[in-house]
Structure 1
Amino acid sequence: MTGRQARHPLFGQMSRRSMLAGAAAGVVAPMAATALGGGRAAAAVRDRSTPSVRGETKRVTLYAEELPGGLYGYGLEPGKATIPGPVLELWEGDTLEIDLVNNTDRRLSIHPHGVEYDTESDGSPLNDSFNEPGETRTYVWRTRPQSQGPDGFWLPGSAGYWHYHDHALGSDHGTEGIAKGLYGALVVRREGDLLPDRQFTIVFNDMTINNKVAPDLPVLVADLGERVEFIAIGHGSNFHTFHLHAHRWADNRTGYLMGPDDRSRIIDNRDLNPGDSFGFQVIAGDGVGPGAWMYHCHVQSHSETGMNGVFLVRNADGSMPEGAQEAIDRYRQHGGGGH
């Protein structure tokens, strides 16, 4: 297990607005530890050398572990499981082999959305695909680029903002596992996609965000002008909408426009229902400047009961903008409140 992880070097800071074109297939971005904090996407574990071929096979080890409070999480190292789990990243055409180590006394699994796999890697008890307590099992996920299908139609590739989750803890549907934190983001990028400077995973899980509620959510932090990627995922049994104050994105695969004639709808609020996921990138503070900006579920009763957090855009030099600390203090004292 340790040897496999050692083959995934930790690379330095990515350049702002750098392009994916010509970069190698990404594997794992361990953003979960800072998914509701101030971590840079520069902390991502990705291969940035120029590949000679596409369609590489990557391997990573995940550890499923019990956390305080009866929760569970996935992690890249023993004793470092988080909620949400680490962001897994691939390029279209790549294969990811996941060695899932079950360090709990419960049956569990890992099931992906948006990629391809055999029944043995389904992660569901229906296909006898899960980990018994203490068991290590390998799951294989495949991706592919767009291709021309019959009669001139094009078949979709795998690129998108997807997610993964347990499908076996507590029942054959993994309802308990998801409720207790066994989930994470899965990103499949296409050549030409933009890489972010910072990356945050936000999961609306029943009436929580990443299994927390305001005012206990860490503040998301970026500097003015940085490219920030949000990955939004829905779980549980409730209808939600995701709203980000003062920032907008295009309602398409990436969240940004492909040119002046791109007619994608521009939004700042989108439905986020159970099993759904989407992602987008924004330039922090573009047009509005630095400050403490809210994000929250726009179902008002949900926001009022704690489904809200703060996206802090600092000054370009990393200093606190005027009035931002006071806004954060008010959030901590009053638990936010949606608008």
Structure 2
Amino acid sequence: MVRAQHRLILALLLVSLALVLAACGSGPRSASGQAAQTGNVAADDGEVVVVTIKNFKFEPAHITVAPGTRVRFVNEDPTPHNVVQGTVADVGRKDHTPLFESPELQEGQSWEYVFDTEGEFAYVCTVAGHYLMGMVGSVTVTADSEAVAAAAASVPSTEPTDAEVEHDHTHDAAPALSMQALVDAYPDLYSLKPEGLVELQPFRVEGNVKEFALDIQEVQHELIDGVVVTAWAFNGILPGPTIRVQEGDIVRVHFTNTHHQPHTIHWHGIYADQEHDGVPHTSAAVMPGETRVYEWVAEAPGTYWYHCHVDSYRHVDMGMYGAIIIEPKDPEAVTWANEYTLILDDWDSNVDAMATRYEPNHNYFLLNGRAFPDVPTLTLKVGETTRIRLINAAYSNVAMHMHGPSFMVVESDGKPVPLPYEKDTLDIAPGERYDIEVTPRKAGLYPFHAHNLRYVTNDGMYPGGMHLMLDIRP
């Protein structure tokens, strides 16, 4: 009986040992440093290789190591990053399960992974679309000691340059200047328009060459009285300043990235050369601390806009946009007495801009960066033609409806329509621009608002959102 019990205990011990060995397996092992622990804790044996994360790069980006090597990823950026196994093509694929995935690493945090199995292991940073900026790397695991030694000898120095040491990565959001305060502070550079937009003046004009300066600032912006959100704003205002030039001008924009994220400026509707088109994978992103000069020719009169094209879903939604107006060279082509520009936008007041998955739920709907009732009233006159330029920077179609007078649609996407047509409601797709003209016959106070009726609320409360008044005077 005792022997039978001993045999049973021995059998149970053997089964337990087998289960432990099966659980350990022979694949790569991972452990975290200061970040939250994920995966199995790495063994203490084996070499440690450090990959530094800074300036939106993995350094070194490609390493060759022996099996059993522990790779430690250390984030020295003020921006959160992660390390996710896979290629750029794997990001977002439901059929791809990463072999390893770190938590988001804040500045100073590290995370480790032990590579036990030979092979090629690609990885990317998926935070805020950073992989689109070249945040990719790979680890080659091989038992070939000569290949490992050769690769180690070729690794470049990761010591920071003087410019990197001097660059200030601080990015606390400051309160946004009011439009009027900005104009008062820099009267030679800005002018305030009655619809609540600021126009940017060139800092240099030589012949038909006009040069402008833009930067990007993280600010606290007020959607309506008492509702403040973090915005990424050109020159610290939302929308960014309007650039107004004349047909035939050569436009140069000096863009300094004073923000903590990579950015570009895309000139929506402008036929710029590829290198100046502002798309990161075809004309390069502007990294934090860098300056880029964009140049293009103002070929056709009309309404255009500019916006960031890095992780556009996120960056445009954070406020990185502004209007471009190209005036006709022939002054007689201007047949309207007055004009206004309205930029339509939607906003999620609760969204985390740096979340790995950016999934906004818009609850405020804006005209020139503000929601009703904190929007200006537009003044028109009976018998006088007013042009209204409409730009849709929102995620969805917006149907703008005018009470009282109807309007004529005269331009679409910067081009005259073949035959102007009359409307009182106009559906505008994301990115589209329309120029409409109004010649009122009667005086009165009339609404002009979005007819997607959710868009005339503030966080679900009516009235609000994309709603303003037309004050038509005799």
Task: Give SS of 2:410's match.
Answer: coil
2:364 corresponds to 1:199: no
1:9–1:310 CA distance, 2 compared to 1 (3 A): closer
Give me the whole-angstrom Cα distance separating, in 1, the residues matched to 2:340 and 2:247: 20
Q: What is the CA deviation profile of residues 59-118 of structure 1, one whole-angstrom value per residue up to 9, with x for unaligned ones?
A: 11112211112211113xxxxx22111221222222210011222111112111222212
1:132–1:101 CA distance, 2 compared to 1 (3 A): same
Query: What are the residue-to-residue correspondences of 1:1-339 with 2, within 5 Å?
Result: 30-31=191-192, 35-36=195-196, 45=201, 56-68=208-220, 69-75=229-235, 81-144=236-299, 158-168=300-310, 171=311, 174-190=312-328, 191=330, 192-194=333-335, 197-205=338-346, 207=362, 208-210=365-367, 214-222=371-379, 224=381, 228-253=386-411, 264-283=420-439, 286-291=440-445, 293-304=446-457, 305=460, 306-313=464-471, 315=473
Task: Give SS of 2:430's match.
Answer: coil
Give me the whole-angstrom Cα distance separating, in 2, the residues matched to 1:85 and 1:270: 25
RMSD: 3.5
Task: Give SS of 1:126's match.
Answer: helix
Task: Give SS of 2:240's match.
Answer: coil
Give me the whole-angstrom Cα distance separating, in 2, the residues matched to 1:209 and 1:234: 10
Task: Give SS of 1:288's match.
Answer: coil
1:213–1:224 CA distance, 2 compared to 1 (3 A): same
- The 8 Å contact of residues 35 and 84 in structure 1, kept in 2 or not, is answered as no
- The 8 Å contact of residues 343 and 368 in structure 2, kept in 1 or not, is answered as no
Q: How far did 1:195 drift?
A: 6.1
Gaps of 5+ in 1: 1-7, 11-27, 76-80, 145-157, 317-339
Give me the whole-angstrom Cα distance separating, in 2, the residues matched to 1:298 and 1:61: 37
Give me the whole-angstrom Cα distance separating, in 1, the residues matched to 2:386 and 2:258: 33
- The 8 Å contact of residues 196 and 368 in structure 2, kept in 1 or not, is answered as no
Range moving further from structure 2, 96-105 or 124-133: 124-133
- The 8 Å contact of residues 367 and 466 in structure 2, kept in 1 or not, is answered as no
- The 8 Å contact of residues 162 and 278 in structure 1, kept in 2 or not, is answered as no
Task: Give SS of 1:253's match.
Answer: strand
1:198–1:264 CA distance, 2 compared to 1 (3 A): closer
Identity in percent: 20
Q: How far did 1:275 drift?
A: 1.2
Q: Alignment length, in residue pairs?
A: 251
> Bigger radius of gyration, 1 or 2?
2
Q: What is the CA deviation profile of residues 290-315 of structure 1, one whole-angstrom value per residue up to 9, with x for unaligned ones?
A: 42x22221123333544332224275
Give me the whole-angstrom Cα distance separating, in 2, the residues matched to 1:215 and 1:202: 14
Q: What is the CA deviation profile of residues 15-35 of structure 1, one whole-angstrom value per residue up to 9, with x for unaligned ones?
A: xxxxxxxxxxxxx9855x754
Normalising by the residue count of structure 1, what TM-score does the alignment of the two structures yield? 0.63
Give me the whole-angstrom Cα distance separating, in 2, the residues matched to 1:196 and 1:109: 35
Range moving further from structure 2, 299-308 or 237-246: 299-308
Task: Give SS of 1:106's match.
Answer: coil
Q: How far did 1:277 drift?
A: 1.2
Give me the whole-angstrom Cα distance separating, in 2, the residues matched to 1:195 and 1:101: 36
Normalising by the residue count of structure 2, what TM-score does the alignment of the two structures yield? 0.46
Corresponding residue for residue 57 of structure 2: none
- The 8 Å contact of residues 380 and 472 in structure 2, kept in 1 or not, is answered as yes
Q: How far did 1:139 drift?
A: 0.8
